[in-house]
Structure 1
Amino acid sequence: MSKPSSPAVPGNEDAVAMDPHAPIPAEPIDNPGLPAHEPRPTDIDPKAEKRAERQVATLFGISVVAAVLFCVAYFTFDIGEDPDTFMGIGASNFFLGLFLGLSLLGIGIGAIQWARKLMSDVEIVEYRHTAASTEEDREEAISALQQGLEDSGIARRPLIRNTLLGALAIFPVPLVVLLRDLGPLPGDVLEHTVWEEGMRVVNDISGTPIRPEEVQIGQLVNAEPAIFFERDAEGEPVMGAHDVLIAKTKAAVILVRMSPSEITPAPGRENWGVDGILCYSKICTHVGCPIALWEQQTHHLLCPCHQSTFDLADNGRVIFGPAARAVPQLPLAVDSEGYLIATQDFDEPVGPSYWERG
């Protein structure tokens, strides 16, 4: 049986503070010793109230302007090899940070000033309980929320309300703009690689072109498109190092050679190989791991990550594991100098399956 609560008597509050199991006073202390409440200037002076309202609205307006300037700075200042500078530092980073900070500060300081100067300034008493709230308590909570909404004055202060809504509405725009830095716009980037008609297949280490007679039956060669190693007239790489790294994630391939009699080409793929040499994507169709574990007797290619197994003599068909699609095949031919080339890009997307891929 629980102990009855002791009445609110002088000194009982000290016992509660020292012993958490002491009986709780039935009523709050009448006078805890707080100083008398003093009204704020905005509570007694209509001019001060209007001035505070304009200050808050101005802060929200600054937030709106700063968010817009953030977007302007993002598209105005150049970055990269020859960036714009300001006071010896990158202009883009400086102004993006400045305007994003001002946008956040405008909303934050405006909300603080609104609460300090214009919302109702009253002292409240909250009774605590250990059991679930009663229906009456819930109704009282809703009433308190409604009262707080009325005390905030948002309904009768349209200037503050509208500027706040404007600041909150425009603030996500810089975040959307920043998404552009996550990578290229999707478009059809998942559907294509850098392979194209006439592009040579080269060794992935040395970049040397490959002749059919250099590949032995049962051999696997890791290869890439020649564009990764090409240079312009001035000796500069045709593709930058960053672009090469991105392109490699889809364009890396393997060459394998087997007896032509052991190959079962799908309809339309009869001419995709050269004297038993076939070319397949190096990227597993399960989660995108690079694969090069080749079993030359069975013509099986094993992914080391989750053991998906593909039969390269049968169009890269999945014969085991979680992969749901055959590994894509790249059609080959030989150019006028006797080197292996691609006749086109892959005829299907390379890499893991995704929701839009049939």
Structure 2
Amino acid sequence: MAEVEVHREAALQRADDFENPGLPPHRKRQTDLHPEKEKRAERVVFGWFLLSALGSIIAVAAYVAVPITPGDLTTTRFNNLFLGLGIALAMLAIGIGAVHWSKQLMSDEEHVELRHSTKGSEKTRAKAVEVFTLGDKESGFTRRSLIRNSLIGALAFAPLPAVVLFRDLAPADQVPTDVFAHTMWEAGTRLCLDPTGTPIRASDVSYGSAFHVMPEGIDEAEHPLDEKALAAVLVMRLPADQLNEAPDRAGWSYDGIVAYSKICTHVGCPVALYEQQTHHLLCPCHQSTFDVKNHCKVIFGPANRPLPQLPIAVDSEGYLIAQRDFTEPIGPSYFERLHDVDEDEHILVAGTTEDRA
């Protein structure tokens, strides 16, 4: 019985062992065997990359040559059609050219690489250089200058449609930074509830509440949604003795009522969460937190400057009104922002610097 068990274990062990079959013999492609077909494949790849660059140019030309006329859906359809065809051609041609390059011209031999623990030694770094050199040799990126240069040209032209589209988002008669530097708020403009448009009396604002407001008459603006995106404001009321106001901003609030831009200074998300116990405003996108008691100074998160404050007052009928527009551009920081700050009106709050702005 013991002898039978030994033979069974030996049989099981032999059944588990097998020889490495190795890789099948490499079959050369037509481009490996015939130099003229290799040159033809190279020209085909060049043609696709050239076609990609042409598609990018077509997209830009179509966007300029087929303008959109307000109220005319036909012009909108044609603009989108030719713009989309140009961008699709640019992206598709790069993809097809890259696939054709890899299948017809790059090395297609299979390799077996044993995995070893990686260490940052000189030998490892030398091996990495060898791998990159081998990859360059197999792809022919350095050797095939026609394909390389056409690919670089196609990639250089590909972002042009996006550049033209994003640049044209701003009004043609305005500098883009001017759009963020000024809003519809001006002296005497009443603060109205969003979205009803009902004016707010100072007596309506209770302690611990937060009101989402917009300027009176915003619905009559030429582009009300754009104006609302710039002028959105949050109004809160705190006990007056809890407000730590800078001397130069003491007149910007009314009986503990303060108003701040709703647009986060990080990436422009709406700061819509108000914690009435701590008097903190929270941006739900990236958790930037602003302290309402201290001129909405940043106390947590990626935002790097306070929310702009809207100076407010009360008119003869008891309604909340703006004293003037914001004294600094609203929303995220950008390189040109300091050039648009009103040097006479803007007041730096303690704890902020122009470098952070």
Q: Could you state the TM-score of these two structures normalised by the residue count of structure 1?
A: 0.60
CA distance, structure 2, for counterparts of residue 151 and residue 264 of structure 1: 68
Q: CA RMSD in A?
A: 5.3
Is 1:344–2:329 an aligned residue pair?
no
Larger deviation, residues 198-207 vs 134-143 = 134-143
What is the CA deviation profile of residues 199-233 of structure 1, one whole-angstrom value per residue up to 9, with x for unaligned ones? 23345465355677xx379677944311324xxxx
Residue number in structure 1 paired with 2:6:
none
CA distance, structure 1, for counterparts of residue 313 and residue 141 of structure 2: 70
Is 1:197–2:179 an aligned residue pair?
no
* CA spacing shift, 1:111–1:190, aligned 2, 3 Å: same
* CA spacing shift, 1:145–1:317, aligned 2, 3 Å: closer
What is the CA deviation profile of residues 249-298 of structure 1, one whole-angstrom value per residue up to 9, with x for unaligned ones? x33445x6999x99997534565567x58552274989853367779xxx
Residue number in structure 2 paired with 1:289:
271
Counterpart contact for 1:77–1:84, Cα < 8 Å: no
Aligned with 2:114 (options 108, 111, 129): 129
Is 1:99–2:106 an aligned residue pair?
no
Residue number in structure 2 paired with 1:66:
55
**1:63: how far off?**
0.6
Residue number in structure 2 paired with 1:330:
311
Residue number in structure 1 paired with 2:17:
22
State the secondary structure of the residue aligned to 2:214. strand
* CA spacing shift, 1:77–1:357, aligned 2, 3 Å: farther
State the secondary structure of the residue aligned to 1:328. coil
Counterpart contact for 1:217–1:257, Cα < 8 Å: no
Look at both structures and tell me which one has the larger radius of gyration over its CA atoms.
1
CA distance, structure 2, for counterparts of residue 277 and residue 325 of structure 1: 19
CA distance, structure 2, for counterparts of residue 136 and residue 210 of structure 1: 73
* CA spacing shift, 1:325–1:67, aligned 2, 3 Å: closer
Residue number in structure 1 paired with 2:342:
none
Identity of aligned residues (%): 31
**1:61: how far off?**
0.6
CA distance, structure 2, for counterparts of residue 207 and residue 267 of structure 1: 33
**1:162: how far off?**
1.5
Is 1:243–2:226 an aligned residue pair?
yes
State the secondary structure of the residue aligned to 1:332. strand
CA distance, structure 2, for counterparts of residue 137 and residue 265 of structure 1: 60
* CA spacing shift, 1:127–1:200, aligned 2, 3 Å: closer
Residue number in structure 2 paired with 1:3:
none
Residue number in structure 2 paired with 1:5:
none
Is 1:85–2:65 an aligned residue pair?
no
Opposite residue 64 of structure 1, the aligned amino acid is A
Residue number in structure 2 paired with 1:171:
158
* CA spacing shift, 1:325–1:160, aligned 2, 3 Å: closer
Residue number in structure 2 paired with 1:234:
none
* CA spacing shift, 1:49–1:241, aligned 2, 3 Å: same
State the secondary structure of the residue aligned to 1:187. helix
* CA spacing shift, 1:106–1:263, aligned 2, 3 Å: closer
CA distance, structure 2, for counterparts of residue 103 and residue 353 of structure 1: 33
CA distance, structure 1, for counterparts of residue 245 and residue 169 of structure 2: 40
**1:195: how far off?**
0.9
Aligned with 1:280 (options 241, 259, 271): 259
Residue number in structure 2 paired with 1:12:
none
Counterpart contact for 1:200–1:225, Cα < 8 Å: yes
Query: Structure 1 regions of 5+ residues with no counterpart?
Result: 1-14, 230-236
**1:159: how far off?**
2.2
CA distance, structure 2, for counterparts of residue 91 and residue 50 of structure 1: 39
Residue number in structure 2 paired with 1:207:
197
CA distance, structure 2, for counterparts of residue 133 and residue 293 of structure 1: 50
Larger deviation, residues 348-357 vs 65-74 = 348-357
CA distance, structure 2, for counterparts of residue 192 and residue 290 of structure 1: 22
Opposite residue 343 of structure 1, the aligned amino acid is Q
CA distance, structure 2, for counterparts of residue 173 and residue 70 of structure 1: 9
Q: Could you state the TM-score of these two structures normalised by the residue count of structure 2?
A: 0.60
